[in-house]
Structure 1
Amino acid sequence: MPSVDVLVVGAGLAGLHTARLLGQRGLSVVVVDRRRSLSAGIRTTGIFVRRTLEDFDLPEHLLGPGVRDVLLYPPSRRAPVRLSSERDEYRVADMPGVYEHARRAAGAAGVQVRLGVRYEGVDGNVVRLGRDDAVRARFVVGADGARSAVARDLGLDVNRQLLVGAEIVHPIRPGDRRPAFHCVLDPRVAPGYLGWVIDDGRHAHIGVAGYQRAMNGGVKRLLDVFAATAPGRSEPTGDVERRGGPIPVGGILRRLACPRGLLVGDAAGAVSPLTAGGLDPCLRLSELAADVVVRYLHSGDDAVLRQYDGNALRQRFRGRLAMRRLLAGIRRPAVAEAAVAALRTPAGRAAARRVLFGDGSFPDVTVRLGSPVSRVTSARP
């Protein structure tokens, strides 16, 4: 039976980034994912925020044009609140390309990435993979999504507050229109969240998300209803792709680590409770996770694991968790109309700009080997 220092379950952005960092620190690392191709089963829109683009080395050729305008619509779709930034606030990535870039970077760090391999469970330090396969691992990193099997098997916390989302993605005809991000607050099609259209001049992403129990007819039907009249939509000029999946919005989980493993990405609840943005959080939390794993495997000191503390991270999210509860309570179109009307006031516009264009990041960690985990700064989408 082969042995490795770390087995990472899940070859998404969080898993591959964590694996690369561990490989660069000299650990033997294997990543497994049940998908046979990284372009299959994509569940994210692929929106990167400005702070991520500033702080991480993302491949320029895989990023679409910058988006500076956000329009917030009530259910009537009339008189949207328009917010504009002097900087590029969002860029939509070619996510299959980003995943492949991350896979190659992990491989260059000595990481073995095995696709088409299903995680079956863990017994002590033996991880079962498929019917007749197993790996002996000193440590397991769960990067296997919002409904993490690794979290369950290690006795760690699991996500319990989930949205379900679906999206249509297609190429559009190039034009001279300015890229924009359209957001529609309408509980009839997206209860507890919103519908969106982001058009960066190359591709259009049209999606809805909300609480599944409140979706009349299911998310796929509501997506089709929304797409037929969505503001800012463009006609497709090529193949139409459908994406979808669960989105954890309960905030960072409290118990993220134990002596056998830890969680990153969606498995850890590393998603903004308010905006449901997860790409920036997953990269930042992976940086902290990799440092903690290296220090723990070198020292064997359980106190190192306690520095990977979900409770400390959650303290930065009290305001956004409260706003998540408010958004979840908007169940009637009239209430949504009033909420958007409030955003037209100076105070409302300032609050919206802070959420959508703010300079804070979540979670922002600065760690040095041998030192305690340092600061965690404020959240942003």
Structure 2
Amino acid sequence: MESVDVLVVGAGLAGLHTARLLASRGFDVLVCERRTRLDTGIRTTGIFVRRTLEDFALPHRHLGPAVRRVVLHPPSLRAPVELVSPRDEYRVADMAAVYAHALSGAEAAGARVRLGVPYPSAGVTARFTVGADGARSAVARRLGLDANRRFLVGVEDVFPVGPSASAPTFHCVLDPRLAPGYLAWLVDDGHEAHVGLAGHPDRLAAPLPRLLRSFHQRFPGVPTPTGPVRRRGGLIPVGGVLRRIACPEGLLVGDAAGAVSPLTAGGLDPCLRMAGLAAAVTGDYLRTGDPSVLRRYDGGALRARFRLRLLLRGALSRTRGPAATEAAFALLRTPLGRAAASRVLFGDGSFPDRA
């Protein structure tokens, strides 16, 4: 039986970032991942927001052109609300390349990564386990930590496109008939297009691939692919950060910890920030053996940052028909509504502070 300081379960962005930070601090770190290749089973849309781009050393060669323009469309698709930021707000990544970059960084720091190794049959004993194994975390169950219970389910097509005469744009369509409790989207940066939708799984009017095909046909301006279409999808936890995400045997990061914005479902920024905090807390705990150190990784305190967005998530989830959404757009078209939308889409807030 092999022994290590830290076993990281899951080689997504959260797991690899945590592994790199811990290995760089001198710990013996092993990452196990059930997938045999990191370019398969990708679930995230790969949209990085400005504050992530500013605070983290991402591989810019694997990021698409900057997006400053967001257009919000009501169910009727008439009279949309256009918002333009003076700053570069979004860039969409080639996530397979980003994962490969993160893998190389973790290994260069000294972490060992084993693909095709499911948990818990890794044949390893560890002083501490980091669960970075997704929305339905096996580590959370094994350690008796909290588990995600509120989900959206999403699907997305990604494909290369030709150059566009218009500015790179993030289109969001709010239509509870198509995407109940969430939205459909098109991000076209003139390099790749991401066309997808997500909603409450028990309220979808048809299977997701059929709804996505309908969206392709209905929404104007969906570009023509110039290369192969890649499909991805999966569960999106939207209940906010879980309360109990650490114990003396291990902790959770990324989707496993519920580190996804309840309102926007954006998870890449909190994924990296929480991984930094998790690595700092894990390192201090392993060096001191003091369980009180783990209180710094308090899901309840992090969850408090979500109060407003959890309330807005509830309101969005309760919207059942297009008439209510159309009425909400009347408010979005006012100066106050536009300011509120800009705050959500272009705001500076995040969690936790970078470690």
TM-score scaled by structure 2? 0.99
Residue 232 of structure 1 deviates from its aligned partner by: 3.3
Q: Which residue of 2 aligns with 1:49?
A: 49
Rounded Cα–Cα distance in structure 2 between residues aligned with 1:329 and 1:68: 30
Residue 216 of structure 1 deviates from its aligned partner by: 1.6
Q: Which residue of 2 aligns with 1:99?
A: 99
Q: 2:215 aligns with which of 223, 226, 241?
A: 226
Residue 223 of structure 1 deviates from its aligned partner by: 1.3
Rounded Cα–Cα distance in structure 1 between residues aligned with 2:169 and 2:221: 8
What is the SS of the residue equivalent to 1:306?
Answer: helix
Alignment of 1:1-381 (within 5 A): 1-120=1-120, 128-129=121-122, 134-366=123-355
In structure 1, stretches of 5+ residues that fail to align are: 121-127, 367-381
The letter for the 2-side match of 1:71 is: V
Residue 340 of structure 1 deviates from its aligned partner by: 1.8
In structure 2, stretches of 5+ residues that fail to align are: none
The letter for the 2-side match of 1:219 is: L
Rounded Cα–Cα distance in structure 1 between residues aligned with 2:298 and 2:164: 48
Rounded Cα–Cα distance in structure 2 between residues aligned with 1:286 and 1:232: 38
Residue 218 of structure 1 deviates from its aligned partner by: 2.1
The Cα offsets for residues 62-115 of structure 1, whole Å up to 9 and x where unpaired, read as 110000000000001111000001111000011000000000000000000111
The Cα offsets for residues 271-297 of structure 1, whole Å up to 9 and x where unpaired, read as 001000000000000010000100111
Residue 60 of structure 1 deviates from its aligned partner by: 1.1
Rounded Cα–Cα distance in structure 2 between residues aligned with 1:165 and 1:351: 25
- Does the CA-based 8 Å contact 1:22-1:294 persist in structure 2? yes
Rounded Cα–Cα distance in structure 1 between residues aligned with 2:221 and 2:246: 43
- Does the CA-based 8 Å contact 1:199-1:232 persist in structure 2? no
Rounded Cα–Cα distance in structure 1 between residues aligned with 2:325 and 2:221: 20
Rounded Cα–Cα distance in structure 2 between residues aligned with 1:234 and 1:358: 29
Residue 362 of structure 1 deviates from its aligned partner by: 2.3
- Number of aligned residue pairs: 355
Give runs of ≥4 in structure 1 deviating > 3 Å. none
Rounded Cα–Cα distance in structure 2 between residues aligned with 1:354 and 1:235: 32
- Does the CA-based 8 Å contact 1:77-1:231 persist in structure 2? no
The letter for the 1-side match of 2:53 is: L
The letter for the 1-side match of 2:43 is: R
Rounded Cα–Cα distance in structure 1 between residues aligned with 2:48 and 2:182: 19
What is the SS of the residue equivalent to 2:296?
Answer: coil
Give the aligned CA root-mean-square deviation in angstroms.
Answer: 0.9
TM-score scaled by structure 1? 0.92
The letter for the 2-side match of 1:253 is: L
Rounded Cα–Cα distance in structure 2 between residues aligned with 1:233 and 1:356: 22
Rounded Cα–Cα distance in structure 2 between residues aligned with 1:48 and 1:58: 10
Q: Per chain length, whose mean CA-contact separation is higher, i.e. which structure has more relative contact order (CA < 8 Å, sep 6+)?
A: 2
Residue 346 of structure 1 deviates from its aligned partner by: 0.8
Q: Which residue of 2 aligns with 1:379?
A: none
Rounded Cα–Cα distance in structure 2 between residues aligned with 1:356 and 1:362: 15
- Does the CA-based 8 Å contact 1:48-1:91 persist in structure 2? yes
The letter for the 1-side match of 2:28 is: S
Residue 365 of structure 1 deviates from its aligned partner by: 4.1
What is the SS of the residue equivalent to 2:323?
Answer: helix
Rounded Cα–Cα distance in structure 2 between residues aligned with 1:235 and 1:289: 42
- Does the CA-based 8 Å contact 1:9-1:140 persist in structure 2? yes
My pick for the range that moved more, 167-176 or 88-97, is 167-176
The Cα offsets for residues 141-182 of structure 1, whole Å up to 9 and x where unpaired, read as 000001111101110000001000000011111233210000
- Does the CA-based 8 Å contact 1:212-1:218 persist in structure 2? no
The letter for the 2-side match of 1:118 is: P
What is the SS of the residue equivalent to 1:119?
Answer: coil
The letter for the 2-side match of 1:177 is: S
Rounded Cα–Cα distance in structure 2 between residues aligned with 1:260 and 1:322: 33
Rounded Cα–Cα distance in structure 1 between residues aligned with 2:221 and 2:170: 8
